[in-house]
Structure 1
Amino acid sequence: MAPASLLDLVSSLPSTDSWGPPTTTETTYNGVPYAPFSKGDKLGRMADWTTEGKDRERGGRQQYNRNYRDQIYGAGPALQTVFNIEGQNEEATFSLVDNSRTSARTRGFGRGGGTVFRGRGARGGPAQRGARGTFQRVGGRGGAQQYDNRGQRGGRGGRRFGWKDYDKPQRTREASVQPKDSWRLLEEIDFSRLSKLNLDTGDGEDVDDYGFLYYYDRSYDKQPGAPTSIRKLNVTERAAYNVTTSHDPIINELAEKDEATIFTTDNVLSMLMCAPRSVYSWDLIIIRQGNKIFIDKRDGSNIDRVTVNENAADAPMETAEGTKDSINSVGALMEEATHINHVFPIQVVQESETTKRDMAHEHPFYNPEEETDPPASKAYKYRRFDLSLEADPEPMHMIVRTELDAVVKNNISGEDQFINIKALNEFDNKAQGSGGALDWRSKLASQRGAVLATEMKNNSCKLARWTVQSILAKADTLKLGFVSRQNPKSSNDHVVLGVFSFKPREFASQMNLNLNNGWAIVRTFADMVLKEADGKYVLVKDPNKPLIRLYNVPMNTFEEEAEEIGAVEEAADEE
């Protein structure tokens, strides 16, 4: 009989307590632990033979997304431990069958091979403890190479320094001159822009020469390391001069004859041409008078002082930085190096009035009535260089006063060859600021190339300036003396360990010195000043940044300071 109502229909159905499938007492998943999961997990290979051991944790599946590596969902700490134990027991039952090296881990340097080294903890690569940074070599023979010297220690987001740079003091140097309120800033140019300039200039021509030269003593060219090659550096009093551009009577005379547009000396010009290599602060004075420019220096300028390890990664410390080693501070080393370069060229020549080489004119600065010491061997060549461009309405020439230190006979032709003589000095290869220099006494003879390469690295600016000065003077040879302290703890006594000879042009190539870039730098600043009105301008190298600033200053700038210095010197002489 059919139900009378819907209520009767419902009551006639089997009784149920809940929706869904019927319940059962059988336990299907007993003993199976729940597997924790991560959002970073990806379905990939069934078996990855390229990730083993510790690399599995850093370079395996967790590599896909490190942000979720430690975020495990669906299980507490206890269940995670159970799962890890089960996984370890399961993996222990397997063994590696394929022992062949895989291409993903091979550090191949053969043809067409590629290898990638990354810093510690970097993404997507094996963890290499203590790596300095990232080096990537792309392609095989002839392939391009890419370097990343960020020096990061924590992989991505790590500190971008070199090896142990965190232990090195942060240098804050002072400027050679402090700009005043009356100075007007015209230009600010960084070294990266200056390094891209290029201007092809010839070898130049001689205008006139003055002075005389003694012949070089060839006995100093003996092989270094022998007992006879080590000689004590003696101090000989000779009259030497470093006359500025504006005080040079020959330059003033040539300017009146309208022989050129720009006038300067090789000491000043070499600093400007090698500006991108400089680290310490320096300054130059540029004076415009009508259509002429005089590039000069002020009294007491750092340009006259010889630097020591200026370009070293761990340069000598300033006195203001609290260094206890006062004789190895920046100022003390500069005074020592300047003194050595004054007395060393005097010692290595043979002073003979009968065999000396006289130039066309007498010494322009020596006055026998006022000087008590005889003049030092020195020749002054005034040379003209063409800095003109095709677009210039009139040619632009520069006259430079260059210097030569000695002359030597050619062994084959017997002709006189002009040489410049400079000296590198060693203070203490174990002291702060030595720049990793080798011990000259034991390594100069056996590892000459290594010693010279270290000096090129630590004194790039100084050696570049000396090379430029030799090329400007058209010297045939550059003599480099290696002078060391007799006792590393005293800066008073020195010995000459040896002398090496170089061709200036070849030495410039070894240093990667581009003279065309230097000429372009000079022409750039000359054009800046020629666009301005007549007056005085100052170039200042920033003490802590690789850039140069050009200021327009009052005409009496530095003159009051020079008068005060002169008054102090006169008072000291009277006392």
Structure 2
Amino acid sequence: MTVKSLVDIVDACPPDDGWGCSVTDDITLNGVPYAPFSKGDKLGRVADWSSESKDRDGRGGRSQYNRNFRDQQVYGANHAVIFNAPPTEDEGSFSVVSNVRDSGKTRFGRGGVFTRGRGQRGGRGDTRGGRGQFQQTRGRGGQSGGYGGYDRAGRPTGGSRGGRRFGWRDYDKPARNRDASINVKAEWSLLEEIDFTRLSKLNLEADNGEDVGSYGFLYPYDRSYEKPPVKGAEKRLTALDRAAYNVTASSDPVIQELADKDEATIFTTDSVLATLMTAPRSVYPWDIVIVRQGNKIFLDKRENAALDMVSVNENAADAPMDASEGNKDTINQPGALAEEATYINHNFVNQVVTEGESGKVDMPNANPFYNPSEDTDPPASKVYKYRKFDLSTNEDNPVFLVVRAEIDAVQRNASGEDQLVTVKALNEFDSKAAGSGGALDWRTKLVSHRGAVVATEMKNNSCKLAKWTTQSILAKADIMKLGFVSRANPKANDKHVILGVVGWKPKDFATQMNLSLANGWGIVRTIADMVLQQGGDKYIIVKDPNKPILRLYEIPAGTFEEDEDEEEEEEEEAGDDDE
């Protein structure tokens, strides 16, 4: 408004009647919208420009955010706002739509990956968390492509590399698509599909079992391996050629003899039975063959089955990855680690016993699988105990189970009594490699932090330790020895050293692991009832390779027998070619 226009207004409104323009009777409100005020309206200022305005940063005015003005109201706010301009489209509800797919849920929710320190270089997102992420960067000098960042303590790094992401690579893990232990064929009939949640709720109390027969002999356990080794002078793991057997139940001559005598309804071995009893803890795929002969069933394994291998870090959150998942370290892939662990267990149990007639304990019966005329290697220290368990739920329908369990050594306690010992070995491949599951360095922590080392192994190898503990309880062993074997060089898997041995009572170790044998017996009885209700002769239980599910299939009677005949023919042909 100019000075001239202001003077004209003052001249038009003579101040005869006070301040302002004179009021005449000609002024009417007809046709003019009018909003009366209420007595409840409070007038704080003559002109309050901050009440309805917005700050420069787009936030509301002082009355919305300052508690000192929370009692003040905008004049006429409780009436219809009819003087306002027509409403326009709310642009605040719009957002940029991306035409790429979401990368999926992460540990912070869908697309909620938080990174610090890695900006965008040259317009390219330097992050691997997928699209739709929230990225917090701190540029240098106001640049959009920030090179600086903040470390975990909140200090600006200012370097060319930013701080570490939260949940390192958790969002970037590829989907685990493991292969099944066996290919399901079209002619197989699916009978039942059971998820692990249902299996975990099963429960059946069974007795402690009774011995039906014992075969073989035992060497005394060498206690010197329990002493902490001197640094640089650890005992090497040596390969000893000893004859050890893992015959399946239907091929076991002793089990066949017990079946002919109608000693039980279910016949199996401890490795197969422990795998089924600890199924809810398993992650890797496996399968069990069930053969029915009349009212008897045999829980078998296939030749070179997956359950014969010893897994490594199966239950770790950061489990070892295969080559298809981007792991270029060949010796630290799941298959190579399983072969290494199986090799270690086979040789460790033979090394920690003192061979000789002194202290040797013979069972009433000789080893049922050893044939001196055919086997060139001496038999290993092993006792095969055939034990019988009552799984009956009522007296009218008795159900018994016979299992072949194994004992590895014998030791004498302070009172001079012999104690039966089972021997197993945990192995360390590389505590700094991917897939180690956050394991501690055994060479420096095993003696001083033994509890932490064992707790980590319980977490990373829950299924494996549960199976070993179950096998020890089934055999009625007094002590379970766990050896700690590590690579001599983390980059090579052919040389190992023994760092120590720790012993536990199997039932005490089961309590620490929260292992319930009643749940395991419930799983076995449930599977047996499913099979006995069917009319077929052969079945197979398959653990889904990628889901916590068991599937029960009915298969043709001749399945797997043709494959075994073909393997035998190939071996014979290979032998003829060598000659």
**TM-score above 0.5:** yes
Determine if the alignment matches structure 1 residue 15 to structure 2 residue 19: no
Question: Structure 1 residues 77 and 429, CA, compared in 2 at 3 Å: closer, same or farther?
Answer: same
Mapped to 2, the partners of 1:260 and 1:403 lie a distance apart of 19
Mapped to 2, the partners of 1:408 and 1:333 lie a distance apart of 31
Residue 571 (structure 1) shift: 3.5
SS in 1 for 2:61: helix
Mapped to 1, the partners of 2:194 and 2:475 lie a distance apart of 29
The Cα offsets for residues 114-136 of structure 1, whole Å up to 9 and x where unpaired, read as xxxxx989xxxxxxx99xxxxxx
Write the mapping of 1:334-353 to structure 2, written as runs, cut at 5 A. Answer: 334-353=338-357
SS in 1 for 2:347: helix
1:552 to 551, 554, 575: 554
Partner of residue 304, structure 1: 308
Partner of residue 47, structure 2: 31
Partner of residue 134, structure 1: none
Pairwise CA RMSD: 2.8
Residue 85 (structure 1) shift: 10
Mapped to 2, the partners of 1:360 and 1:408 lie a distance apart of 19
Determine if the alignment matches structure 1 residue 429 to structure 2 residue 431: yes
2:481 to 475, 479, 482: 479
**Farther off after superposition, 233-242 or 352-361:** 352-361
Residue 225 (structure 1) shift: 4.7
Partner of residue 187, structure 1: 192
The Cα offsets for residues 493-544 of structure 1, whole Å up to 9 and x where unpaired, read as 0000000000000000000000000000000000000100141000000011
SS in 2 for 1:490: coil
Partner of residue 171, structure 2: 166
Partner of residue 400, structure 2: 397
Residue 182 (structure 1) shift: 0.5
Write the mapping of 1:201-280 to structure 2, written as runs, cut at 5 A. Answer: 201-222=206-227, 224-227=228-231, 230-280=234-284
The Cα offsets for residues 217-267 of structure 1, whole Å up to 9 and x where unpaired, read as 111121x25349720001111111110111100000000011111000001
2:310–2:342 contact (8 Å) kept in structure 1:
yes
- Percent of aligned positions that are identical: 59
1:317–1:433 contact (8 Å) kept in structure 2:
yes
Question: Structure 1 residues 162 and 76, CA, compared in 2 at 3 Å: closer, same or farther?
Answer: closer
What stretches of structure 2 of length at least 5 have no aligned partner?
A: 1-23, 35-42, 70-106, 116-132, 135-165
The Cα offsets for residues 404-455 of structure 1, whole Å up to 9 and x where unpaired, read as 00111112x2111100000000000111110000000000000000000000
What stretches of structure 1 of length at least 5 have no aligned partner?
A: 1-12, 37-74, 92-118, 122-128, 131-152, 155-160
Mapped to 1, the partners of 2:272 and 2:507 lie a distance apart of 20
Partner of residue 61, structure 2: 83
Mapped to 2, the partners of 1:483 and 1:567 lie a distance apart of 38
> TM-score if structure 1 supplies the norm length?
0.75
2:207 aligned partner, one-letter code: G
Partner of residue 326, structure 2: 322
SS in 1 for 2:250: coil
Mapped to 1, the partners of 2:544 and 2:462 lie a distance apart of 18
1:380 to 360, 380, 384: 384
Question: Structure 1 residues 552 and 356, CA, compared in 2 at 3 Å: closer, same or farther?
Answer: same
Partner of residue 442, structure 1: 444
1:449 aligned partner, one-letter code: G
2:456 to 445, 450, 454: 454
The Cα offsets for residues 42-70 of structure 1, whole Å up to 9 and x where unpaired, read as xxxxxxxxxxxxxxxxxxxxxxxxxxxxx
Question: Structure 1 residues 79 and 377, CA, compared in 2 at 3 Å: closer, same or farther?
Answer: closer
1:233–1:493 contact (8 Å) kept in structure 2:
yes
Question: Structure 1 residues 569 and 21, CA, compared in 2 at 3 Å: closer, same or farther?
Answer: closer
1:83 aligned partner, one-letter code: G
Mapped to 2, the partners of 1:569 and 1:356 lie a distance apart of 37
2:283–2:548 contact (8 Å) kept in structure 1:
yes
2:50–2:62 contact (8 Å) kept in structure 1:
no
Mapped to 2, the partners of 1:540 and 1:403 lie a distance apart of 25
Mapped to 1, the partners of 2:536 and 2:174 lie a distance apart of 44
1:464–1:508 contact (8 Å) kept in structure 2:
yes
1:251–1:263 contact (8 Å) kept in structure 2:
yes
Partner of residue 419, structure 1: 421
1:528 to 524, 530, 535: 530
2:399 aligned partner, one-letter code: M
1:225–1:445 contact (8 Å) kept in structure 2:
no
Question: Structure 1 residues 86 and 472, CA, compared in 2 at 3 Å: closer, same or farther?
Answer: closer
1:479–1:499 contact (8 Å) kept in structure 2:
yes
Partner of residue 98, structure 1: none
Determine if the alignment matches structure 1 residue 568 to structure 2 residue 570: yes
Residue 83 (structure 1) shift: 3.1
Alignment coverage as a number of residue pairs = 456
Residue 79 (structure 1) shift: 11
Mapped to 2, the partners of 1:296 and 1:86 lie a distance apart of 75
Residue 35 (structure 1) shift: 2.2
SS in 2 for 1:346: helix
Partner of residue 409, structure 1: 412
Residue 281 (structure 1) shift: 0.4
Question: Structure 1 residues 163 and 488, CA, compared in 2 at 3 Å: closer, same or farther?
Answer: closer
Partner of residue 199, structure 1: 204
Question: Structure 1 residues 330 and 83, CA, compared in 2 at 3 Å: closer, same or farther?
Answer: same
Question: Structure 1 residues 489 and 35, CA, compared in 2 at 3 Å: closer, same or farther?
Answer: same
The Cα offsets for residues 359-383 of structure 1, whole Å up to 9 and x where unpaired, read as 0101100000001110000000000
> TM-score if structure 2 supplies the norm length?
0.74
The Cα offsets for residues 250-302 of structure 1, whole Å up to 9 and x where unpaired, read as 00000001111100000100000000000000000111111101010111111
